[in-house]
């Protein structure tokens, strides 16, 4: 499991290379392209919101994160990644591959989360176990939005900067579209 955890980002590369290079059964539909862009943007927004609370890649002392999207689901970053990758499939006009991409992400991220949860249980002990008992892994509990907007504002720009590299995901698909058409 540890190797899958360490390679979690790289494991998303092969399906995306496939989508970039595949021209079989492309769907020429501006609505699907727009939908893909919206799904990608929602995934990116969720990822930035998660970063504003998690502070991954930021030089901030790490603590058990239970605010922001982590108050609703334990793995919002992986949900965001899945949305971005499914959106990229649609942007690449390989709409039929989006459900396959979602299933692939579900398998990989389930394995990753098993490793991560064991690590967090060792690191945070009872506090993490209490969190696990209150917050679902994948499907959010509907609660009122967090009232900690001031802490969100404090980390918005640094979090956006830390996640700007995610915009690079769509460049190959835009290049494909310009080259093929």
64: left (phi over 0), alpha (psi -120 to 50) or beta: beta
Does residue 13 lie within any of the structural domains? no
Give residue 154's pLDDT band: very low, low, confident or very high (50, 70, 90). Answer: low
pLDDT tens digits for range 35-80: 999 999 999 999 999 998 988 777 778 889 999 999 999 999 999 9
Residue 15 lies in a domain: no
pTM above 0.85, yes or no: no
Q: What is the CATH number of the domain that holds 60?
A: 1.20.120.1630
In a domain, 22, yes or no: no
- Residue identified by tokens 């299933």 is 103
Sign of the Cα pseudo-torsion (60, 65, 71, 75, in order): positive
Structural domain containing residue 68:
2-8+28-171
Within-domain flag for 81:
yes
102 in a structural domain: yes
């Amino acid at each position: 499991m540890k190797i899958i955890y360490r390679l979690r980002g790289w494991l998303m590369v092969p399906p995306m290379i496939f989508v970039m290079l595949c021209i079989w059964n492309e769907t020429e539909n501006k609505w699907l392209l727009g939908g893909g862009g919206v799904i990608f943007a929602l995934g990116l927004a969720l990822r930035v919101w998660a970063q504003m609370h998690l502070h991954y890649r930021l030089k901030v002392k790490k603590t058990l994160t239970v605010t922001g999207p982590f108050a609703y689901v334990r793995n919002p970053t992986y949900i965001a990644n899945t949305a971005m990758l499914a959106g990229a499939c649609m942007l690449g006009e390989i709409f039929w591959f989006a459900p396959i991409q979602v299933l692939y992400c579900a398998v990989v991220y389930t394995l990753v989360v098993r490793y991560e949860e064991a690590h967090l249980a060792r690191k945070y002990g009872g506090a993490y176990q209490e969190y696990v008992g209150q917050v679902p892994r994948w499907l959010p509990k509907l609660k009122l939005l967090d009232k900690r907007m001031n802490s969100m504002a404090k980390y918005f720009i640094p979090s956006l900067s830390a996640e700007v590299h995610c915009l690079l995901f769509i460049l190959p698909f835009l290049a494909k579209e310009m080259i093929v058409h």
